[in-house]
Chain A
């Protein structure tokens, strides 16, 4: 499709496990194992899954903050995986990331003016009064006061810090932003502020988001489409409303049924899965969800299911549905 801004094709990332006296590679953590998807211009794609399913690795590999083992990532028509380091730096102006923990991702020794201005200085985009002006405009955009600019990160609350992180990510006018659990360190009332801000900015600046989170209600609120990951694999992708109302993959069904809405009378029919999430260092053969699945059949063990279209824009990797 022509309106795809970011396309990911068969992305693979294995992290080597070293062991023994000589530190030889004794195995691999298959963090991301052949994942393909596309993010369309102006939309938000939500990426959900439990810890260790590889969603953050996908986000970081797209920006080449982690080098992929194999596979391709396109930004527009440019194949990012083929670029040299200096070329990557140029394209990264268009692709930015907002991190999970606003307490860890801001340099405590820099004040807000320096933090927000740094991308502009490093990329030699602005200097002097121009820099001042642009930093002030960014601060206003994310709802920070001008007098906040001289303060240091420790003087801010979590929500304010996340605003600083947003301002920094937007400094270079990116087209695409990876949001890695941007609100999971925040309180609910503040989370709502940040989610609203992100939505406003998307409309105002025409941003495209990859929204990574384990919180399904938040992802549902933010995204046009959702992709569900399980142990390094994409198991289902589809438009948000369809995925929420008619999840097809058994894992997606279990995941959505586990959401607790604040309503004591909504007696949901909940699916409680048995067992634990398998380790990506030693995933089960065939379908990775097989040991916990209630629809398991003979086909699931020998064959790994592939993604197939089951509805308009709705893909599922499962033998039984």
Chain B
């Protein structure tokens, strides 16, 4: 690419290594409930490359959260069941992994920021401990624990000497202990639980500092109810980023926050992405947020992907009737409109979805074919995928 001349080296490396990080192929997931089978996902396709921020958009019940959460198996099985399809993450098929294997990935390589920070944090644990928990589970902290121990011993020795009590320090054998510990640096021993806790907490504070919380040492000692909504969401982000994940799933990360706080969190997520080089899968119904954060967009409707393209292409040249209608139905601050173009009807019930294209009952340009046949996702121009019979028909002409 010749535009990469004055790009920061970090971004350049991201551009060059355009390798696949997450690839969901033809995923079908049904919920088997007492009322019947809810066909939540019906052949979902998703591609995410390293360094991407992919926006997954759609209305309530379109399956965007189910898609994202099923990648790390946070969907209860049963009642849910993956009928077919692959979820390839760095070449591994997550759909086929057992609980033990997935647990090593969840929170470590893929982590989630949930919508509602108030209900996702444990109210009886200090936030520092909640962040430290993830770190303790997924990281080998032997080296850090040893360093921490050496630092503490040295501080003790220095303090005693400053008080003129070097005799005591000699009696305690501090110097010898420090020497011992330093020699074991190459092959750190298994730390004691206390040292492990201390090391994890220190890392938790670092992680909190990254999210821009003022005075992170004190904040780590607080309980969730003592923090405001925006601060809680920062804690959630700190937990998610604690292990430097390759993929961050953000499920409506700002929709429970106030507008000005939303702006802060969006800014923070953008900055952290640049710093850490994680990829983001952003689930939201807010198209404005997608336009500002994402380089790729996938639009879902009633359990299927209807359109997928780069962000600039999708907002400039939306092709699926649903995407077009959705964009028209949003009131825009810089445009004057007397009436909004709404989409008639409501989202279909997935217990009994309409046959053929699931959007056809609400589509203004539906053909006879739409009722009978499910359209396939086709690439109409490079990286622009649409599943609609209208476009297929145009291509044949």
Residues on A close to B: CB < 8 A?
50-51, 157, 159-160, 187-193, 195-196, 199, 214, 216-218, 220-221, 244, 254-266, 270-274, 276-277
A187 touching B331, Cβ below 8 Å: no
Give Cα A127 to B199, complex, Å.
75
Interface positions of B from 188 to 242, Cβ below 8 Å from A: 228, 230-231
A220 touching B333, Cβ below 8 Å: yes
Count of B interface residues, CB-CB < 8 Å: 43
From A195, A217, A220, A273, B260 is in contact (CB under 8 Å) with A273
Q: Note all chain B residues with C-beta closer than 8 A to A274.
A: 264
Count of A-B contacts with CB under 8 A? Answer: 122
Closest chain B residue, CB of each to CB of A221:
B331
- Most interface-central of B59, B285, B325, B330 (chain A CB within 10 A): B330
Q: Note all chain B residues with C-beta closer than 8 A to A214.
A: 258-259
User: Chain B 278-309, CB within 8 Å of chain A: the 1/0 string?
Assistant: 00000001111111100000000000000000
User: Chain B 331-366, CB within 8 Å of chain A: the 1/0 string?
Assistant: 111100111111110110000000000000000000
Known contacts A189-B59, A189-B326; is A258 also within 8 Å of B260 by CB?
yes
Residues on B close to A: CB < 8 A?
59-60, 228, 230-231, 258-264, 267, 285-292, 311-312, 315, 325-327, 329-334, 337-344, 346-347
A225 to chain B, nearest CB (A): 16
Closest chain A residue, CB of each to CB of B312:
A264
Give Cα A265 to B313, complex, Å.
11
From B59, B231, B258, B312, A51 is in contact (CB under 8 Å) with B258
Known contacts A189-B342, A221-B340, A263-B291; is A276 also within 8 Å of B230 by CB?
yes
From B267, B289, B325, B333, A256 is in contact (CB under 8 Å) with B333
28 contacts between A and B (CB under 8 A): A51-B258, A160-B346, A187-B60, A187-B347, A188-B287, A189-B343, A190-B342, A190-B343, A192-B331, A195-B340, A196-B340, A196-B342, A217-B330, A259-B259, A261-B332, A261-B333, A262-B288, A262-B290, A262-B330, A263-B291, A264-B291, A264-B312, A265-B315, A266-B334, A273-B260, A276-B228, A276-B231, A277-B228
Q: Note all chain B residues with C-beta closer than 8 A to A199.
A: 338-339
Give Cα A191 to B228, complex, Å.
29
Q: Note all chain A residues with C-beta closer than 8 A to B332.
A: 217, 261-262
B331 touching A217, Cβ below 8 Å: yes
Closest chain B residue, CB of each to CB of A185:
B60
Q: Note all chain B residues with C-beta closer than 8 A to A254.
A: 260, 263
Closest chain A residue, CB of each to CB of B338:
A199
B339 touching A196, Cβ below 8 Å: yes
Give Cα A257 to B266, complex, Å.
13
B287 touching A218, Cβ below 8 Å: no
Closest chain B residue, CB of each to CB of A191:
B329
B289 touching A260, Cβ below 8 Å: yes
- Extra inter-chain contacts (16) besides given A193-B344, A214-B259, CB under 8 Å: A187-B59, A189-B59, A189-B329, A192-B330, A193-B343, A195-B342, A218-B331, A221-B340, A258-B260, A259-B259, A260-B288, A262-B315, A262-B327, A263-B315, A264-B315, A272-B264
Give Cα A221 to B286, complex, Å.
17
Q: Note all chain B residues with C-beta closer than 8 A to A187.
A: 59-60, 285, 347
- Most interface-central of B258, B267, B290 (chain A CB within 10 A): B258
Q: Note all chain A residues with C-beta closer than 8 A to B288.
A: 259-262
From B231, B258, B340, B346, A192 is in contact (CB under 8 Å) with B340
Give Cα A177 to B59, complex, Å.
29
A273 touching B264, Cβ below 8 Å: yes
A232 to chain B, nearest CB (A): 15
Q: Note all chain A residues with C-beta closer than 8 A to B330.
A: 188, 192, 217, 262
Q: Note all chain A residues with C-beta closer than 8 A to B292.
A: 260, 264
Give Cα A264 to B53, complex, Å.
13
- Most interface-central of B60, B267, B346 (chain A CB within 10 A): B346
Nearest 3 A/B pairs, CB to CB: A260-B288, A192-B342, A221-B331
Give Cα A320 to B18, complex, Å.
50
Q: Note all chain A residues with C-beta closer than 8 A to B267.
A: 272
- Most interface-central of B327, B338, B339, B341 (chain A CB within 10 A): B339
Give Cα A189 to B327, complex, Å.
9
Give Cα A261 to B290, complex, Å.
10
Closest chain A residue, CB of each to CB of B262:
A258
From A50, A157, A193, A195, B258 is in contact (CB under 8 Å) with A50
- Most interface-central of B286, B331, B332, B337 (chain A CB within 10 A): B331
B232 to chain A, nearest CB (A): 11
A250 to chain B, nearest CB (A): 11
A276 touching B261, Cβ below 8 Å: yes
B259 touching A255, Cβ below 8 Å: yes
- Most interface-central of B289, B315, B337 (chain A CB within 10 A): B315
B287 touching A262, Cβ below 8 Å: yes
Q: Note all chain A residues with C-beta closer than 8 A to B289.
A: 260
Q: Note all chain A residues with C-beta closer than 8 A to B287.
A: 188, 262
Give Cα A216 to B230, complex, Å.
20
B326 touching A188, Cβ below 8 Å: yes
B59 touching A188, Cβ below 8 Å: yes
Known contacts A192-B329, A265-B312; is A50 also within 8 Å of B259 by CB?
yes
A195 touching B331, Cβ below 8 Å: yes
Give Cα A140 to B261, complex, Å.
41
